[in-house]
């Protein structure tokens, strides 16, 4: 089905296809997988080793979503036992600059974010009563 639902940017209607796409490519594991794959084709177990804390199920599901959306390609390698290699597609490579910008922003601003969190927690831990 071709993309023909208008999304004007001022709101994200429930039927706007970009909402689903954001959900499927902008989560933490997707962003980390794409960053790893930017270095070239990588096997499943190598990805799992490089992404500390990812479960096999989460990694597998995320790879399938990215492949379905045309962001990565999956190639079966004729070895014994057979292996699978994942790599970025040309479409997927176009996502790297904005994701790298977010990564750089996070690194550059992490101290300010941590300070804001501390201030928020201090302010709300004194005024919130959860009884």
DSSP H helix total and E strand total for the chain = 6, 3
- What's the pLDDT at 128? 56
What is the rounded distance in angstroms from the CA atom of residue 92 to the CA atom of residue 73? 9
What is the predicted pLDDT for the residue at 129?
54
Give residue 81's pLDDT. Answer: 85
2 has pLDDT over 60: no
| Residue 35, C-beta contacts closer than 8 angstroms, at least 6 positions apart | 96, 99, 100, 103
Q: Tell me how far apart the alpha carbons of residues 44 and 74 are, in angstroms, rounded to a whole number.
A: 10
- Would you state the pLDDT for residue 110? 96
Reported as a single tens digit per residue, the pLDDT across 19-71 is 888 888 888 899 999 999 998 999 999 999 999 999 999 999 999 999 999 99
In which band, very low, low, confident or very high, does the pLDDT at 8 lie, cut at 50, 70 and 90? low
Grouping H, G, I as helix, E, B as strand and the rest as coil, residue 127 is helix
Check residue 1 and give its pLDDT: 46
Reported as a single tens digit per residue, the pLDDT across 66-109 is 999 999 999 998 888 888 999 999 999 999 999 889 989 999 99
At the top level of CATH, the class of 17-94 is: mainly alpha
Based on the number of CB atoms within 10 Å of its own CB, is 92 exposed (0-12), middle (13-18) or buried (19 or more)? buried
Q: What is the pLDDT of residue 13?
A: 77
């Amino acid at each position: 089905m071709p993309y023909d639902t208008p999304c004007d940017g001022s709101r994200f209607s429930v039927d706007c296809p970009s909402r689903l796409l954001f959900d499927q490519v902008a989560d933490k594991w997707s962003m980390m997988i794409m960053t790893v794959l930017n270095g070239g084709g990588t096997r499943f177990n190598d990805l799992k080793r490089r992404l500390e804390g990812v479960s096999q199920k989460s990694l597998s599901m995320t790879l399938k979503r990215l492949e379905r959306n045309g962001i990565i390609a999956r190639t079966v390698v004729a070895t014994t036992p057979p292996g699978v290699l994942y790599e970025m597609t040309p479409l997927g490579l176009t996502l790297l600059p904005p994701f790298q910008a977010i990564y750089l922003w996070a690194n550059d601003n992490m101290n300010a974010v941590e300070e804001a969190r501390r201030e928020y927690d201090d302010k709300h831990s004194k005024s919130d009563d959860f009884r």
